[in-house]
Amino acid sequence: MAQWAYKVAYVDYRGRISCEGQETLIGNERRSAFARRYMNSLGKDGWELVGIQPLTANSAYYVFKRPAQEGDFAESTPPAASQQTPPAPESGPSVETA
């Protein structure tokens, strides 16, 4: 079964892209040329745009994927919340009476 690596970029249509802690700002170019330049740079690294999640009228998340490569999963993933058991409360809920 193929493994995939994903990249999510926050795109502000006014001229800023933020991805994995790196900011890319629009230069002296049209917005469409700016977006095309950024996406072409990801395409050269094998990333394919697979989804767009609009956030506001001026921003969206762009989701990219590519076949997993060595180093794509270098960061450890925290355990899922469902795997952790919260501590049991020491007493029941408090009840106020009038």
- Taking only the tens place, the pLDDT of each residue in 12-66 is 999 999 999 999 998 888 988 998 999 999 999 999 999 999 999 999 999 999 9
Task: Give start and end residues of each alpha helix (H) in the chain.
Answer: 31-44
Determine, yes or no, domain membership for 44: yes
Residue 76, in any domain of the structure: no
Instruction: Yes or no: say if 26 and 61 are a contact pair by the CB < 8 Å rule.
Output: no
Q: Is the pLDDT of residue 78 over 90?
A: no
pLDDT grade for 98, boundaries at 50, 70 and 90: low
The alpha carbon dihedral of 39, 43, 45, 51 has a sign of positive
Domains held by the chain: number: 1
pTM above 0.75, yes or no: no
The answer to whether residue 5 is domain-embedded is no
Domain for residue 45, yes or no?
yes
- The parent domain of residue 38 ranges over 11-68
CA 54 distance to own-chain centroid: 13
pLDDT at 72: 78
Within-domain flag for 63: yes
Which residues are CB-neighbours of 13 under 8 A, at least 6 positions away?
31, 58, 59, 60
- Of 79 and 54, more confident: 54
Is 52 domain-assigned?
yes
Q: Would 82 be classed as within a structural domain?
A: no
Residue 51: closest CA among 4, 16, 1:
4
